[in-house]
Amino acid sequence: MEKLIITAAICGAEVTKENNPNIPYTVREIGIEAEKAFLAGASIIHLHVREDNGIPTQDIKRFQACVDEIKRRCPDVIVQPSTGGAIGMSNEERLQPIFMNPPPEMATLDCGTMNFGGDEIFVNTENTIINFATEMNSRGIKPELECFDKGMVDMALRLNKKGYIKEPMHFNFVLGVNGGIAATPRDLLYMVNSIPKSSTFTVCAIGRHEFPMVTMSIILGGHARVGFEDNIYLSKGVLAKSNKELVEKVVSISKELGRNIASPYEARKILSLD
């Protein structure tokens, strides 16, 4: 079985220091958290950025500053900016980080619209997905296909057939989000069995579901995403002090299951980024 790629989603757009005081906001805090996660075994940093007061932003200058800080500390790591942004942002806002110089190697591409609870709706029309994919293709950026439900997998496969999403495809199955597919072994297996054999996949899950679902992904030959964006606890009732602790826990689980950890160089080979 190939080596495990670990992605660290170090801050997200929703969690705050009120939830866990160790959530990074500033450029320096984001750089430190990325470096700790990298040294612990993460080869990809999934990146949202914040203003110093914690407000999420897709501002290209803020992304550039954060990426520059991360690359200064760990030049080999793969930085994967989010084009999801936060609820209510326009498509133009959300796309800003793909215009950085140089372009990122990867970026997320959300593959459908979903309810996020209450009156919040995360909108991704078919035309939005096509536009985002086209812009990424023109800059040589590999999309990570964010799928919160089975219908989003089907959308990605349909757009692949039309030529908008290129092979080999890389999926991220996001489990346990309000409005999306549940974080159960049955549902994860259903998602995995729905994608082409030539594809790769990563799994992340929300809160207490994080480590059980990531463990199942490791067993199935998939990859793992952990981090404060998805889960702020190391174990029940114990707040994680850093993304490093969450990455270290995955490294330990993976080694117990007989899978070694991929370096950024090896991750690029597995994901066809080189």
The domain containing residue 28 runs over which residues?
6-270
DSSP three-state, residue 136: helix
> pLDDT per residue over 255-272, tens digit each?
999 999 999 999 999 999
Residue 142 lies in a domain: yes
Query: Is 80 exceeded by the pLDDT of residue 12?
Result: yes
What pLDDT is stored for residue 25 in this prediction? 98
Rounded-to-integer distance, Cα 149 and Cα 113, Å:
10
Contact call for residues 85 and 71 (beta carbons, < 8 A): no
What's the average model confidence in pLDDT over 223-232?
98
> Does residue 218 sit within a domain?
yes
Q: Is 36 exposed, middle or buried (0-12, 13-18, 19+ CB in 10 A)?
A: buried
Tens of pLDDT, residues 128-145: 999 999 999 999 999 999
Question: Confidence class of residue 169 from pLDDT cuts 50, 70 and 90?
Answer: very high
DSSP string computed for 28-86:
HHHHHHHHHHHHHT-SEEEE-EE-TTS-EE--HHHHHHHHHHHHHH-TTSEEEE-S--S
From 193, 171, 183, select the one nearest 111 (Cα to Cα): 171
**SS3 assignment, position 244:** helix
pLDDT band at 7 (very low <50, low <70, confident <90, very high): very high
Over residues 55-70, mean pLDDT: 98
Average pLDDT over residues 119-135: 96
Residue 117: what pLDDT?
82
Query: How would you classify the pairing of strands 233-235 and 44-47?
Result: unpaired
Which residue in 96, 91, 93, 95 sits closest to 113, CA to CA?
A: 91
Instruction: Say whether pLDDT at 43 is over 80.
Output: yes
For the question of whether the overall pTM of this predicted structure is more than 0.95, the answer is yes
pLDDT, tens only, 65-95: 999 999 999 999 999 999 999 888 999 999 9
HSE-up of residue 11 (Cα within 13 Å, Cβ side): 33
- Number of structural domains found in the chain: 1
Q: Give the pLDDT confidence of 20-30 residue by residue, as tens digits.
A: 999 999 999 99
- Residue 180 has a pLDDT of 96
d(CA 9, CA 223): 13
Dist. CA 183–CA 175, nearest whole Å: 5
In a domain, 81, yes or no: yes
Res. 172 pLDDT band, cuts 50 70 90: very high
Average pLDDT of every residue of the chain: 97
What is the spatial distance between Cα 274 and Cα 25, in angstroms, rounded to a whole number?
A: 31
Percentage of the residues of the chain whose pLDDT score is greater than 90: 96
Residue 243 · residue 36 · CB < 8 Å: yes
22: CATH: 3.20.20.70
Confirm whether 1 is domain-assigned: no
Distance separating alpha carbons of residues 79 and 105, to the nearest angstrom = 7
Tell me whether the omega of the peptide bond preceding residue 103 falls within 30 degrees of 0, making it cis: no
Q: Return the pLDDT at 274.
A: 77
Tokens (6 digits) for 6: 């670990």
